[in-house]
Chain A
Amino acid sequence: MADVAQQILLSEIAFSYRSQNARVLDIDRLSIDAGEQVAFIGATGAGKTTLLRLIDGRLFGWTGRAEVLGRTLSPRRAAPRNWNANIGFVFQEYALIERSTVYQNVRNGRLGRTHSALSLVGLFSDRDETAVTEAINDVGLSDLADQRVDQLSGGQRQRVAVARCLAQEPKVLIADEPVSSLDPTSAEKVLDLVRACAEARGATLLISSHQPKLVAQYVDRVVGLKEGQIAFDTPAGAVTPEQLGSLYGWHVADTAARSA
């Protein structure tokens, strides 16, 4: 297939924070096709979150060329809301509205799709309501729909955040360290859920994590980031201990011990 739509294409991307000299992102080329499932791994500060924010259209002040979902991103201006709605983002710390209910939080995922003025007076379309209900069902929280989210556990909150993202009906589903604040059992449940939902909807899935072993089981491609650069980019099964060691600055012997 010569012409699978390249959904995401970054070239010659460079970004640094104004106060620092060090490059936070320094990417020659990264191309991701529609429907791919990719994990971004690397130590804290390797640029994972920054890269995902760039793809989500919420990073400004970078140089280079970035095309996402057929749109050339501007390093200065925010993208139109229709485009934003096509890219869903699950945050590490859930980023929910604490005093709102599960239903209200998930409905916030529709804000980019619905009529802006009508939504302000509380009017949402049937399509919106259906998408919200389905998303809540998909993450298994129907019984808690009217609970305030500040009464939920961490795992439940992250499922609310996933539902909010699903209600957006995204073409690209980004999850930034979605399980780093969760215990291992909840973490696996959330990752299962995220992958199943992305597959069911045919969405491209991008997950970042500093738990390479865990997240590699859920994707088909792993991109290693170190100091803002792509250290390696391989199929999920082919990541070597040496590659992981290079990302985290372990010695190889150490790596063997850790993977044992």
Chain B
Amino acid sequence: MSDSIAIELRDVVKRFGDVVAVDHVNLQIRDGEFFSLLGPSGCGKTSSLRMIAGFELPTSGSIIIHGREMGITPPHQRPVNTVFQSYALFPHMTVAQNVAFGLEMRKTPKNEIARRVQEALDLVRLSGLEERRPRQLSGGQQQRVALARALVNHPEVLLLDEPLGALDQKLRKEMQLELKSLQVRVGITFVFVTHDQEEALTMSDRIAVMNKGKILQVGTPTEIYERPNCRFVADFIGETNFIDGVVIGRDGNYTVLETPEGLRFRGLAARPLSDGTSVTYSIRPEKVRLLTPDGALPPDGLAGTVMSVNYIGSDTRITVRINDRRIIDVWEQNTRSTLDRNEYWQPGEAAVIVCPPDNALVLSE
């Protein structure tokens, strides 16, 4: 991965009538990067992708691909290719004809077309199906044809619009890994649009989390998951416990907040916050530790009662009530293989939860 910029969005705005789909977005996607645009439907991620491809033009702002300002360059003259959500394979053409289409449009010599089509089909492990029509293929195979059809052109950037959305869960997981390894092999910049946070975390080098047309945070999967910069990102990526409170001071590296009922929590804040600021405390369920009470409470410990215990195979998910209003989710990994129910917590049992401050965040706004 080099540091040169493949795609830059400068203050891009897209309006559809009164609706602002993309709201002053600034973004730099590096060369060779697997970059995901992640967000709920209607967040502007697909509009952004379509503007890069040239299907839509920005209302204002500019899109720069490898240093070239795109302006009103039509899609067929842009150095990018797209894998569509619906695949958009040409139904009246064979697999080979579909894959050859882009090369034919670029007036590639016949024998080179044949060679590169074969290469592309090998790359996606589809050789042998050249003469099939798209409708004779399974969903996963169609998806590979769409990939081959785009990659055969050696685009500078490959745009993927929720390409795994139509596949079933198992195939999805397979394709995630395959796509990622494919990207590493061909070394092309991938811009991947998805609403599936797990998919984005699994595959991406970096992720931009979008909501309501704005980019909220850009970072590596670990940064996005471990250090979300706002409540929306913390909520959208993975699961978390939120506790609202007010900053009452600092304790070394940690910011201390107090809830209306007087509970105190310590966590990391992205920037210094003055006392009295309304904040949200966030701790992920797998970071909370659950202990058997033995007299004195440990630091950052709170006494509570186990409410429910759900065994889900890899984890046991426990809800703990700490007072009339507050319930904390705790996930414990099932590290031991046992059928003994007593290995797990029991509803009604007294317990102490510990929220390690290094694993907790204090989010402002």
Q: Is B a genuine binding partner of A?
A: no
The chain B residues found within 8 Å of chain A, CB to CB, are none
